[in-house]
């Protein structure tokens, strides 16, 4: 090969390497909110409160069994009345200064009028209900799930992580600010649904009431991502994930009806066999992956990620296939880049020697933003490609993926700055929430909706949510209160 060609090839290679490295360097320069350091802003008031008293309040609320069951007939709604009576005793100043409304029988709205009624309100929400404790695991709990035991530096019990802690922390923050004489510039609203765990109507009733008042919100915060310490593959140190949207929800009931008969003379195809093949085709033909919902997350995490990860995401034009394969190899990251398919129920047959005439299955789908329910159904229809398999939505629990809230808004920047102030050295990044929250109902009256719980979560802590030995430390609860004291002030400013 002539030396000229060698020089040209080397020049091209050097140019490509330089191009890739430059893109990587630019990519790794995450937004300022991700790189900020320091302590909580001293320009905002941080009124004193009793951390142990806050822990006792959470303990008392845990003891009130505001459980949402799949079967509403199992619910004991009187517990919600009892919990709300306790709130009146715990937070007298909130009940004196804020306007309290009850909607949907048990959901709560507290409105704290701001000094400037021309400004749009901000809203902080959480939910009062909790999931049951599995009867088969009761002997595995260190302390009974509804004891609210305060021991070993923790408050123990169902709801301490999901998410009565956030309800209590918001009340504590508002109570202490009111006692200190603080008045927000924007109106501040606290809203607590009563049936979030069963995708209920409480939040919808709250939104309907706010619409009646003609309100449009400046910003909203709900439960969501936390500060992960060791829970994100490849990420060093602490990373705070702020939910800016959430997946849609769809369950389809599949049905196949065939002629039954005796098992001694089976036909070549049976209802169970046909439906099983249809489900298998769905599982082996997943929805296509999409990286558009995770680009912002990985760019925010860049300062804490290895160079190889920065290199790959900065140059997806070259490494896209490799990135998708890597993300697809883990169930959590795979769920972040595609609409998921999860067969959850299969029913057929009544006796071992009778061919069933009918087989039914339920498959749950979590829809990635950008994928509509109609598009998901078209995918299902094309993949199964069998007119004998009929499907229809199950019940009324189906909704589209939410819009994605902006990350360049003032409210997102203030939230990120507040996180960095209280948890120095933490990087912040947006992400799409995989599960469902009450926040999805508020998009008709708010564009800036974020999901975040100011709590450091270790990998073992994540297993406690809806699991055994749910707990939160007294110190963590106190930090949540201080965090909300400051965020209420940040967000209530013009």
Which of 456, 490, 488 lies closest to 41 in space, CA to CA? 490
| Tokens at 44, concatenated | 């905002």
Give this prediction's pTM. 0.92
pLDDT value at residue 157? 98
pLDDT value at residue 40? 55
| Tokens at 17, concatenated | 């390497």
Q: Which domains occur in the chain, in start order?
A: 51-246+402-492 (3.40.630.10), 248-393 (3.30.70.360)
Q: Using an 8 Å Cβ cutoff, are 120 and 217 in contact?
A: yes
pLDDT value at residue 1? 55
Mapped onto helix, strand or coil, the DSSP state of residue 246 is: strand
Dist CA 86 CA 80 (whole Å):
10
Dist CA 416 CA 151 (whole Å):
32
pLDDT value at residue 200? 84
Q: Give the orientation angle of helix 51-63 with respect to helix 474-492, to 10 degrees.
A: 100
Spans of the chain, pLDDT less than 70: 1, 28-42, 494
Q: Cα dist. 115→173, 182, 445, 485 in Å?
A: 19, 11, 21, 17
Dist CA 226 CA 451 (whole Å):
9
Name residues whose C-beta falls within 8 Å of residue 58's C-beta, 6 or more positions apart in sequence: 148, 155, 160, 164, 165, 168, 472, 477
Dist CA 146 CA 62 (whole Å):
6
pLDDT value at residue 25? 77
Q: Give the orientation angle of helix 474-492 with respect to helix 164-179, to 10 degrees.
A: 60
pLDDT value at residue 494? 66
Dist CA 484 CA 454 (whole Å):
9
Catalytic residues: 129, 196
Which of 307, 298, 99 lies closest to 215 in space, CA to CA? 99
């Amino acid at each position: 090969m002539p030396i000229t060609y060698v020089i040209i090839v080397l020049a091209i290679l050097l140019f490509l390497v330089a191009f890739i490295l430059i893109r990587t360097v630019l990519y790794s320069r995450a937004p300022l909110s991700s790189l900020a350091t320091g302590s909580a802003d001293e320009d905002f008031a941080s009124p004193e409160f009793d951390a142990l008293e806050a822990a006792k309040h959470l303990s008392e609320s845990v003891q009130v069994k505001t459980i949402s069951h799949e079967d509403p007939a199992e619910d004991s709604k009187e517990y919600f009345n009892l919990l709300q009576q306790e709130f009146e005793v715990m937070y007298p100043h909130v009940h004196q200064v804020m306007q309290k409304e009850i909607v949907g029988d048990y959901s709560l709205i507290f409105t704290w009028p701001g000094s400037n009624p021309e400004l749009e309100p901000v809203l902080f929400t959480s939910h009062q209900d909790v999931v049951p404790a599995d009867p088969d695991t009761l002997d595995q709990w260190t302390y009974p799930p509804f004891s609210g035991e305060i021991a070993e530096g923790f408050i123990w019990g169902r709801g301490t992580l999901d998410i009565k802690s956030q309800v209590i922390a918001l009340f504590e923050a508002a109570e202490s600010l009111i006692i200190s004489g603080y008045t927000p510039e924007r109106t501040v609203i606290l809203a607590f649904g009563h049936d979030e765990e069963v995708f209920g109507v409480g939040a919808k009733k709250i939104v309907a009431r706010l619409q009646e008042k003609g309100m449009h919100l400046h910003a909203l915060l709900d439960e969501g991502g936390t500060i992960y310490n060791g829970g994100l593959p490849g990420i060093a140190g602490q990373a705070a994930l702020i939910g800016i949207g959430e997946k849609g929800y769809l369950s389809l009931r599949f049905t196949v009806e065939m002629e039954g008969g005796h098992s001694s003379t089976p036909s070549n195809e049976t209802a169970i066999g046909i439906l099983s093949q249809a489900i298998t085709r769905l599982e082996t033909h997943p929805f296509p992956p999409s990286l558009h919902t995770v680009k912002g997350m990985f760019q925010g995490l860049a300062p804490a990620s290895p160079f190889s990860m920065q290199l790959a995401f900065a140059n997806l034009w070259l490494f896209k296939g490799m990135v998708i394969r890597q993300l697809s190899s883990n169930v959590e990251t795979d769920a972040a880049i595609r609409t998921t398919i999860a067969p959850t129920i299969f029913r057929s047959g009544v006796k071992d020697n009778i061919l069933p005439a009918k087989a039914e299955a339920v498959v749950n789908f979590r829809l990635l933003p950008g994928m509509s329910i109609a598009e998901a159904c078209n995918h299902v229809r094309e993949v199964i490609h069998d007119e004998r398999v009929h499907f229809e939505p199950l019940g009324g629990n189906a909704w589209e993926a939410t819009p994605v809230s902006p990350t360049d808004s003032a409210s997102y920047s203030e939230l990120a700055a507040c996180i960095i102030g209280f948890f120095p050295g933490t990087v912040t990044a947006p992400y799409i929430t995989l599960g469902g929250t009450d926040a999805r109902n508020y998009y008709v009256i708010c564009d800036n909706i974020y999901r975040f719980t100011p709590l450091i979560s270790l990998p073992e802590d994540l297993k406690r949510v809806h699991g055994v030995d749910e707990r939160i430390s007294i110190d963590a609860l106190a930090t949540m209160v201080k965090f909300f004291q400051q965020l209420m002030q940040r967000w209530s400013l013009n």
